[in-house]
Structure formats: C-alpha cells, structure tokens
Amino acid sequence: PDLGRRFAERKRCADPECSMLMCRGKAMQDFKGPDCRFVNFKKGEAVYVYYKLIGESTELWAGSVGSDFGYFPKDLLEINHNYSNEELELPTDETDFVCF
C-alpha cells in the first residue's frame, strides 16, 4: 500500500497512548536525519524510545534526545535499560509523521 508520508501502518508501544518509555539506549554513532521528522544525535548521547514502527519500516524507532523528538534507525542504538516488557500493537496515525 502507498503510505504517502507514513513510514508504517503499525507500531509497538508500552501503553495505549504511546506516552510511556519503552527503553533507553546510547547512540553508537552520530545521526542526522533527512528531514524534520527525524531526531538528530551525537555518538554517546542518551536516546529514549517511545515506540517502534512495525511492518513497512521495521528499522525505524521513535524517541527523544533532550527536548527533541523524532525517528531514527534502531541499529544506531545500544539498548542499556528496558522500562517495559509489555508491547501493544497499535495502528499509526497521520500525526505520527508530521513535523512539529
């Protein structure tokens, strides 16, 4: 299916609002996203994960670095703490893929 601006149709979250942290990790290298939907970070920075895309774009997770929020490739993160082992599968929303 043509998802347009959506990267995926489904996501995994720790709670129905996707507001609870799933895990925290350390950036293994610098990352600069292609547009404002992505979060940029430097090697060694802490990255907090709120949800994981599944389906079309299994390589992208959504999280925050400081006060910035956005998508990043999951392969750049070394997980060092899990906050929740519970994962709910939910549909994504158009607002998951807009720039703020």
Residue 4 counted as domain residue: no
Beta partners for residue 25, in sequence order? 47, 79
What's the number of domains the chain is made of? 1
CA 49 – CA 18 distance, rounded (Å): 10
pLDDT at residue 22, rounded to an integer = 97
Angle made by CA atoms 23, 21, 100, in degrees to the nearest 5: 115
CATH number for the domain that contains residue 23 = 2.30.30.40
Mean pLDDT of the chain: 91
Residue span of the structural domain in which 69 resides: 11-96
Residue 6 counted as domain residue: no
| pLDDT tens-digit series, residues 29-77 | 999 999 899 999 999 999 999 999 998 667 899 999 999 999 999 999 9
